[in-house]
Amino acid sequence: MKQKILISSSSFYRIPKLTQNKIKYLTKNYQIIKNPFKRRLKPNELIKYAKSCQGIIAGLEQFSAKTLEQLPRLKCISRDGVGTDNIDLKKAKKLGITVRNTPDANTQAVAELTIGLIISLLRHIPYLNNKIRKGEWLQLHGHLLEGKTVGIIGVGRIGKRLAQLLKPFGCHILGNDIYPDNQWFREQNISHVSKKELFSKSDIVSLHVSYLPQNENMINNQAFRQMKKGVILLNISRGGVIEEADLIKSLNSGKIAAAALDVFKSEPYKGPLTKMENVILTPHVGGSTHESRYLMQLMAVKNVVEELDKQQ
């Protein structure tokens, strides 16, 4: 009897031709159960469809301890993505469930989106686009990226790639990471500094941290007070990192000149930031390119097959 794999990741189905090839590859040796809703599964739905499965290709569904306990046959969760904060890793380990992810697949895509958002904010691109569509010919002066000090909080794969993409623009780059790769900082001639120093010196602050309990609301009134007046802030990491009420207050006061967010504590986002003209909002699409999705799906499939073959 074939082992069963649930493809619960809703984003797995968004590129039909690629998906078809992956599923053909899987069905040779495994029975595939598809997410019938093509959206994020609720806990009761996840349990229903995964109960008899040995493997799951997962998106951002919540794998709590309670949910994992009700999946007795599960051997592997293969994340169709990077983050694993939606999975109770301690409980998974206790139950003998291997958790794999695809850490390198979306690095370039997220870094490129960050560059695009920075330039869009510096040159007021969405704002001017909206004005011209309303019949207003407003030739507003923007700013160059060249010569700006960019502070990167979270210098992992994506933070490092962003730094490399920024260098040709002639930016001065500062970094902060809880586990700094000191050799990389030396080789790249980039300063690793405290958050306080980074905030006080940066014209642009870009967040690329993991979602850890200590990062909850790390960007709040205290952090904003340490930043330069007129700073640009970007969050392409996790939604709970910024205290939204404090961000709105700082945007209204002019302390923060503009912001771009691709991630939100509650998604889909429908909050007050949607009314602010100096904010760009994108719907969690950091890794959403055809190229990165292809690589991510391929890695997710290979990971689950590798683990299930190993454990047979």
Q: What's the confidence (pLDDT) of residue 23?
A: 67
- Domains in the chain (CATH in brackets) are 3-105+290-311 (3.40.50.720), 107-281 (3.40.50.720)
Residues noted as catalytic:
238, 267, 284
3-state secondary structure the chain: CCEEEEECCHHHHCCHHHHHHHHHHHHCCEEEEECCCCCCCCHHHHHHHHCCCCEEEECCCCECHHHHHCCCCCCEEEECCCCCCCECHHHHHHCCCEEECCCCCCHHHHHHHHHHHHHHHHCCHHHHHHHHHCCCCCCCCCCCCCCCEEEEECCCHHHHHHHHHHHHHCCEEEEECCCCCHHHHHHHCCEECCHHHHHHHCCEEEECCCCCHHHCCCECHHHHHHCCCCEEEEECCCHHHECHHHHHHHHHHCCEEEEEECCCCCCCCCCHHHHCCCEEECCCCCCCCHHHHHHHHHHHHHHHHHHHHHHC
- For 114-148, write each residue's pLDDT tens digit: 999 999 999 999 999 999 999 999 999 999 999 99
The one-digit pLDDT tens for each residue of the chain (312 residues) are 789 999 999 888 776 665 566 666 676 789 999 999 988 999 999 999 999 999 999 998 999 999 999 999 999 999 998 889 899 999 999 999 999 999 889 999 999 999 999 999 999 999 999 999 999 999 999 999 999 999 999 999 999 999 999 999 999 999 999 999 999 999 999 999 999 999 999 999 999 998 788 889 999 999 999 999 999 999 999 999 999 999 999 999 999 999 999 999 998 999 999 999 999 999 999 988 989 988 888 899 999 999 998 876
Q: What is the pTM of this model?
A: 0.85
